[in-house]
Structure 1
Amino acid sequence: MDAIIDVRGLTKRYGGRTVVDHVDMQVARGRIYGFLGPNGSGKTTTIRMLCGLLTPDEGSGTCLGYDLRKESRKIKRQVGYMTQKFGLYEDLSIEENLSFIARVYEVPDAAARVDDMLQRLGLAGRRAQLAGSLSGGWKQRLALAACLLHEPQLLLLDEPTAGVDPKARRDFWDELHELAAGGLTVLVSTHYMDEAERCHQLAYIAYGKLLAQGTADQLIAGAGLVTWSVEGPALADIARALRASDALNVASFGTALHVSAASAAALEAALAPYRGTGIAITPVATSLEDVFIALMQRSQDNFAS
């Protein structure tokens, strides 16, 4: 499978701080590549460099076969970029927004293309509705339709489902998989672990550094974590005590704690004082969220003084 994105050493600095630090990335055609990491980790800056909106300070590579530095204009013409915030005209109707975008991209037979997109994304019945009056889920559909009008080869989605209800998120992801099956490549940043698990491949970036990449199963296996579940009374007190140890990763999951460490021996040593006090300790499978919490805790904030 040919690489739609192939970059090495991608680096961007602002005011003496490195916000993207020598990132290497390869993404194959027709794949959904999930980009995860805490706020301020460099995800959006990386996406903007990939689509030609920002020029890297260091590094090289190609996107859609075009050089990132020399051919950024050609990249922009073949990329659909959906930003974090709704960016279309709220005082225009759904159809008027799409017609305007079609003219900007000089889409052939624009009226037919707009009508086709309205039908595909279930917007036809609302075509005359003002964009500003739409709910979050419908705005999301309109933004996706606008990204797809010019038939891009690469779709870049920057936290596209923030503030959208679970049903709309599921429908959105079903559509992404349909698009990928048709050969479209998708790079999506998200904070939702259920969405991450629906990606073909994942990358975790924290404070500018790419810490891990692979499938969900590969990331879990590569983390080398052992995880136990702790249930019972006074969990808040237990969590505070366990979090004092740098060797443990502790997260609340409903009525239980997930405690992860590099070995069962480390977990046993930490939890031994609580055995016989009315709490239940059971081994559980390490989840993707456990892995990402551990990666985040190990990361150093590049803006910390």
Structure 2
Amino acid sequence: MTAAIDVTGLHKSFGGRTVVRDLSIRVEAGRICGFLGPNGSGKTTTIRMLCGLLTPDSGSGTCLGLDIIRDAAAIKRQVGYMTQRFSLYEDLSIRENLDFVARMYGMAGRRRAVDEALERLGLATRQRQLAGSLSGGWKQRLALAACILHRPRLLLLDEPTAGVDPKARREFWAQIHHLAADGMTVLVSTHYMDEAERCHRIAYIAYGRLLAEGTVDSVIARSGLATRRALTADPEALATRLEGLPGIDMVVRFGGALHVSGRDAAALDASLARFDGDPAVRWSTGEPGLEDVFIALMAQERDPLQ
């Protein structure tokens, strides 16, 4: 498939501190790519390099078929970028904000475009309401409406659902999938594992480096993690006994259950064998989740500044 984003070896430093190092990523047109990583991992800096707001120190590639360095101005006109913070005018109404954005882009048929965005995002009945009086979920809808107003080919979303309730998040993601079905490419950074699982592909970075990329299933499969599930009346006591044993890389509590994982299945099972016959613990084979995989990946990485 045609790549909407195809960059190689991106590198960016600020004041001698490297934020993105040798990063390569490819996103196919019309797909949703989840961009994951801990705070400070370089996600926002990468997004800003892709849309022409920052120039990489080195590296090359294309965004929407345009050179990310030479054609930065042209890329900006074809991209919708939703920042982490609400950046529209709180003392303007929903309609006034969208009309202002349309004027900034010099759009022909401005009124019709605003009407369509209001309808698409379910904002028409609130169009006279001041943006500053909206809840987090409605501000999110307004921000998305502003991003797609000029009909971009690529949507870059930087932690768009932070701080909104589960219902608003679900409705937001329904809109994202509708946009992708219409041919728009989406790169979305998120900390929510359930959101990552809604993406066609994911990319995970830490300390500015790409650690994993692919479909959710392929990333989990390549992790090599083996997971065992323990049901017990006293999970805290069992966790204390398990931590530090050979082959056990992590012990995660889920209510009355423990997920015990390691990259060496034989060593993991050998350590768990000492609990055979214990009537207080019931063991079963489990499946590692994305969160398990990412914690394991982080455990293998080292902060270059430490």
In which range does the TM-score fall when normalised by the shorter chain?
over 0.9
Deviation at 1:245, TM superposition (A): 5.5
Contact 2:32 2:187 in 1 (8 A): yes
Aligned to 1:296: 298
Secondary structure in structure 1 of the residue aligned to 2:81: strand
Say whether residues 1:109 and 2:114 are aligned partners. Answer: no
Secondary structure in structure 1 of the residue aligned to 2:89: coil
Aligned to 2:159: 159
Contact 1:107 1:149 in 2 (8 A): no
Contact 2:246 2:267 in 1 (8 A): no
Taking a change above 3 Å as real, the CA distance of residues 240 and 9 of structure 1, as seen in their structure-2 partners, is farther
Deviation at 1:67, TM superposition (A): 1.0
Say whether residues 1:251 and 2:252 are aligned partners. Answer: yes
- Report the AA paired with residue 234 of structure 1: D
Deviation at 1:246, TM superposition (A): 8.1
| Whole-angstrom CA distance in 1 between matches of 2:284 and 2:222 | 22
| Whole-angstrom CA distance in 2 between matches of 1:136 and 1:302 | 36
Aligned to 2:286: 284
Aligned to 1:140: 140
Deviation at 1:141, TM superposition (A): 0.3
CA deviation profile, 1:267-299 (whole Å, cap 9, x unmatched): 223323444161222111222222112112222
Q: Which moved more, 1:244-253 or 1:153-162?
A: 244-253
Aligned to 1:96: 96
| Whole-angstrom CA distance in 2 between matches of 1:254 and 1:49 | 42
Contact 1:13 1:19 in 2 (8 A): yes
Contact 1:40 1:207 in 2 (8 A): yes
Aligned to 1:200: 200
Q: Aligned Cα RMSD in Å?
A: 1.5
Name the TM-score, length of structure 2 as normaliser.
0.95
CA deviation profile, 1:39-96 (whole Å, cap 9, x unmatched): 1111111111101111111110111111111111111111100011111111111011
- Report the AA paired with residue 257 of structure 2: A
Q: Which moved more, 1:242-251 or 1:9-18?
A: 242-251
Aligned to 1:32: 32
Taking a change above 3 Å as real, the CA distance of residues 9 and 127 of structure 1, as seen in their structure-2 partners, is same
Q: Which runs of 5+ in 1 are unaligned?
A: none
Contact 1:80 1:155 in 2 (8 A): yes
Q: Which moved more, 1:69-78 or 1:271-280?
A: 271-280
Q: Which moved more, 1:244-253 or 1:211-220?
A: 244-253
Aligned to 1:82: 82
Deviation at 1:241, TM superposition (A): 4.8
Aligned to 1:120: 120
Taking a change above 3 Å as real, the CA distance of residues 233 and 26 of structure 1, as seen in their structure-2 partners, is same
CA deviation profile, 1:204-257 (whole Å, cap 9, x unmatched): 101111011000111011111111112214322433454435851222223222
Q: Give matches, 1:25-64, under 5 Å.
A: 25-64=25-64
| Whole-angstrom CA distance in 2 between matches of 1:19 and 1:257 | 35
| Whole-angstrom CA distance in 1 between matches of 2:179 and 2:164 | 20
| Whole-angstrom CA distance in 2 between matches of 1:105 and 1:246 | 60
| Whole-angstrom CA distance in 1 between matches of 2:15 and 2:251 | 35
Contact 1:17 1:302 in 2 (8 A): no
Taking a change above 3 Å as real, the CA distance of residues 246 and 158 of structure 1, as seen in their structure-2 partners, is farther
| Whole-angstrom CA distance in 1 between matches of 2:300 and 2:289 | 17
Contact 2:226 2:262 in 1 (8 A): yes
Q: Which moved more, 1:74-83 or 1:290-299?
A: 290-299
Contact 2:246 2:268 in 1 (8 A): no
Percent identity (aligned): 62
| Whole-angstrom CA distance in 1 between matches of 2:108 and 2:255 | 52
Q: Give matches, 1:203-242, under 5 Å.
A: 203-242=203-242
